[in-house]
Structure 1
Amino acid sequence: MKQLLLTLTFALVFGSCFSQGSVSTLFYDESNGLNVIEGTTMVNDGSANGGTCMFRPASASGGTIWAGPYVGVTAGNYLLQVRIKVTSNSSTADLFMLDIVSQYGYVTHGALWIKPNMFRANNEWQLITIPVSIPHGITNLEIRGMNFQPGITDVYVDYVQLIPSSLPGLYSNELTISGNGNVGIGTITPREKLSVNGNIRAREIKVEATNWPDYVFEEGYGVGTLEELESYIKANKHLPGMPGAKAVETNGIAVSEMLKLQQQKIEELTLYLIEQNKSIGTQNEKLLQQGKQIKLLKNQINAIKKKK
């Protein structure tokens, strides 16, 4: 999730900062610039680009997995993507660091520790993405897999690529930034500025709302009678002004609008309770007066009986 939020934030911020014109995706593998370091071997893999990929077994020593290419790129904002898979995705430990540097490692433009649990399945290729901003004059840009940690899991690396982040859209099952600026997490067809196909967990959510329904307590607001409310509920199976079940299933619920509607119903319910309390008070007063009259009559009857 942290990687996803980092990608989202930087892609949105950087995407509008540079106009990169016709700069195209830069693609590298072991055939055109990635240097395989001792401890890493090339293996055949039918699912890999070109049928081969780099392999670093868990039993290998620590250190660098690969280095390179040493190239110059047009200044601008990019998405660095590396296609990786792991034999086991159960560990939460740091496996190796993916970084993109220049000045022969002295300047870091982007870096991320790769962990096995970042992968959705064992032995399944996945693109790891880091947003990077490359300044002018970089002639020896290098993409590396560094600080491999032995004993955790085998790792396979297929290729790396730099995608200009000013492309009209980024689409994957994990994160989508559509051409019209909508963002999707877990969906490639976001219909709103942010569409999430899954659960959201947060410490606090603040929703802005206007026309908060305190107008219910203004003079002249017609709350209606309980008899009218009962008739409406029997006919429609939901409260007046509230969406029905089918509408919610089809269109979802706007949180701010639903909060306002619920608050309106709470305030209307409060008015009903106040009126009911008044009515009960009136009935109690009537009963009290009737009780006094009954007591008076009893006393009169008893007085008449004594005279007899």
Structure 2
Amino acid sequence: MTGRRILVTGGAGFLGSHLCERLLKTAGNEIICVDNFFSGQRRNIERLQSNANFELLRHDVTHPLFVEVDEIYNLACPASPIHYQLDPVQTTKASVLGAINMLGLAKRLKAPIFQASTSEVYGDPVVHPQPESYWGNVNPLGLRACYDEGKRCAETLFFDYHRQHRLKIKVVRIFNTYGPRMHVKDGRVVSNFIIQALRGEPITIYGDGNQTRSFCYVDDLIEGFLAMMNSADEVTGPINIGNPGEFTIRQLAELVIDLTGSKSTLVFEQLPSDDPKQRRPDITIAKQSLGWSPKVSLQEGLVRTIAYFEEVLKSRR
């Protein structure tokens, strides 16, 4: 199917900008990118603004939006702890009110709607790896709850709209994703380590570094998004999209040092509240229902990401 008019909320963010770019590669697609630039960056979409099929709207999804589109991808919400803890009330609003407003729009238009949920719905998991059937272990009162519980509530809203209004929904749970266009100051582990290594600064590890994460390169993730949106109507999700390769935080730091040729040393600080000890997706359903699995190795993805941050740092000198 070609020639779709597609709304992408959070379209100037790290993932949103890659999604907009990828969608524009299909002939005839018209993209409406919506962002309030709380954490999104104009530089992420500069190359797209000369495309006649790309339109940018500055808008906050906590307020209703009235546009005519064929599909909706709802990505609007700050996703890094530094950003979402800066204004936790607004973070919850972005997830919950944003979902309500986008679902209302999808209902009026009878359009399929995609929700970018998160592995954070699993909290600090006691089941490993995490399958979609696991209900999670989330602290509803903690510093991360504005994001974790906001996304959990958004999933509830999506499935209630699906059951009550027969809305076509697609829900994915995103596991740690990295790549070009990550925000320099987003506080996430991959960008933190690369920036510190390139500057020759000590690399900060929180805790003992033995906690694990699974890192998915952004191009793989976006292909998972498209596979999900283009899947059969009965495939609603939630479906885990991530790379099941599991690494300790210390292993990641050592790999970044090696790939950058940095002389950085490791320093250890106290682990933040509610920081998960393990994180790894079970992607069995993604393989079976979408025919999707990640292709880019951590080393290959880091090489590309390091090259991006080298250019960013050069431009700021």
Q: Which has the higher strand share?
A: 1
**Quick check: which has more Rg, 1 or 2?**
1
TM over 0.5: no
TM interval, short-chain normalised: under 0.3
